[in-house]
Amino acid sequence: MVTVSLCMIVKDEEETLGRCLSCLSDLVDEIIIVDTGSTDRTKKIAAEYTEKVYDFQWVDDFSAARNFAFSKASGDYIYSADADEILDEENRERFRVLKANMLPEVEIVQMYYTNQLKFRTVYNYDKEYRPKLFKRLRNFTWIDPVHETVRTAPVVFDSDIEIIHEQTENHAKRDLEALHRAAAGEGMLSKRLFDMYARELYLAGDKEDMGNAEAFFENMCNSGECSGEELKAALCIMARIERKLGNIPKFFKYAIKAVAAGGVSELCLELGDYYMELEDYEEASIWFYNAAYETESIFDAGSRGGKALRRMAECCRKLGAPEKAEHYEKSAGEWEENAAMT
């Protein structure tokens, strides 16, 4: 049977750490806890489960902290967990079966991450695969009978294990602050971080966050270095930023550019909301219709579903069309029901 090292980075997790470790302690062969500056009982709780508790000076870099934790591991595989994760008994048993039957060629195991919509997050779905278990030492092998080459893509296994993400608070503010710093420091972000920054800002950013992000996204819009999809995302975010900041001329400047670039549901929803505030319900309904039926979403699936349809219903009521309002309310409910089952 393979051995597994549990590696975690933590800070002020006294409320959830014990619950997490109690689920995992008998499933793994080694527990490594890296603390990045706790001021509560986190380290004392960790010490109840392992002697391998390390301090790591926080440098505004989650990857650096996780790499340090991984460097301390000695097991065949490394299980990366956060303190607000739980395995129930059914999934603990699935973990035991996986561990007992792990094929040696498997290098990454993905597990379902669930309960993501409990807090407003950057996710559109309540359940998705994430890589969670990693082979600590990778063996490179040759493939192909002729013109042979070394296999560089990892062997990934999609397991049936479901991790319950039982967070106690929304982490959006913390994540956005880290993304602000990364954008300001680097000037450019990887495609993955750019997508995450735009999505998090759209779904959870407040006025302060919008102000912090304005210069970065304006530069992305005007740099000429964005791909087509990135440019659409940046233009959509800029339109949202300027509307939230009350800069209406700049709001329309970027909204028009976004429409010219192809348009997205989120932008149509933004324009509809703008006209709703002006009580111009006919114009608002045009944009909500476009959000629901004529465009695709890039950040928030609800912008072309339940959200747009419910706003359409509200416009219909304001315009004295109750039957149409009922139709759109029903459509919104059906869309939301289908989305919940996805």
Task: For residue 129, list its beta bridge partners.
Answer: 112
Q: What average pLDDT does the segment 240-250 reach?
A: 95
Question: Which CATH code of 1.20.910.10, 3.90.550.10, 3.40.50.880, 3.30.420.10 fits the domain covering 4-165?
Answer: 3.90.550.10
Task: For residue 114, list its beta bridge partners.
Answer: 127, 164
Task: For residue 78, list its beta bridge partners.
Answer: 5, 134
Q: What average pLDDT does the segment 158-170 reach?
A: 81
Note the pLDDT tens digit of each residue in 202-242.
988 899 999 999 999 999 998 877 778 889 999 999 999 99
Note the pLDDT tens digit of each residue in 52-95.
999 999 988 889 999 999 999 999 999 999 999 999 999 999 99
Q: What average pLDDT does the segment 143-155 reach?
A: 80
Cβ-Cβ contacts under 8 Å for 213 (sequence gap 6 or more) = 180, 183, 197, 201, 205, 237, 241
Cβ-Cβ contacts under 8 Å for 162 (sequence gap 6 or more) = 91, 111, 112, 114, 127
pLDDT at 181: 85
pLDDT at 168: 62
What's the chain's average pLDDT?
Answer: 89
Q: State the amino acid at position 156 in one-letter form.
A: V
Residue located via tokens 């800029």: 238
Q: Is the pLDDT of residue 119 over 60?
A: no
Question: Which CATH code of 1.25.40.10, 1.10.10.10, 3.30.70.600, 3.40.50.300 fits the domain covering 172-341?
Answer: 1.25.40.10
Q: Which helix (H) or strand (E) holds 135?
A: strand 127-135
Cβ of 152: how many Cβ atoms within 10 Å? Answer: 8
Cβ of 73: how many Cβ atoms within 10 Å? Answer: 21
Token digits of residue 74: 């000695």
pLDDT at 186: 64
pLDDT at 156: 92
What is the percent of the chain with per-residue pLDDT over 70, rounded to a whole number? 93
**Total residue length of the chain:** 342
Cβ of 227: how many Cβ atoms within 10 Å? Answer: 9
Q: State the amino acid at position 157 in one-letter form.
A: F
Note the pLDDT tens digit of each residue in 172-200.
677 888 888 888 876 678 888 888 899 88
Domain(s) labelled CATH 3.90.550.10 in the chain stretch across 4-165
Domain(s) labelled CATH 1.25.40.10 in the chain stretch across 172-341
Torsion angle (degrees, nearest 10) of CA 107, 109, 129, 229: -10
Alpha carbon distance 289, 272 (integer Å): 9
Token digits of residue 252: 């329309």
Q: Is the pTM higher than 0.85?
A: no
Q: Is the pLDDT of residue 246 over 90?
A: yes
Alpha carbon distance 17, 8 (integer Å): 10
What is the percent of the chain with per-residue pLDDT over 90, rounded to a whole number? 66
Note the pLDDT tens digit of each residue in 309-342.
999 999 999 999 999 999 999 999 998 888 766 5
DSSP letter string, 44-92: HHHHTT-S-EEE----S-HHHHHHHHHHT--SSEEEE--TTEE--HHHH
Is residue 316 exposed (0-12), middle (13-18) or buried (19+ Cβ within 10 Å)? buried
Query: Predicted confidence band at 122 (pLDDT cuts at 50, 70, 90)?
Result: very low
Is residue 258 exposed (0-12), middle (13-18) or buried (19+ Cβ within 10 Å)? buried
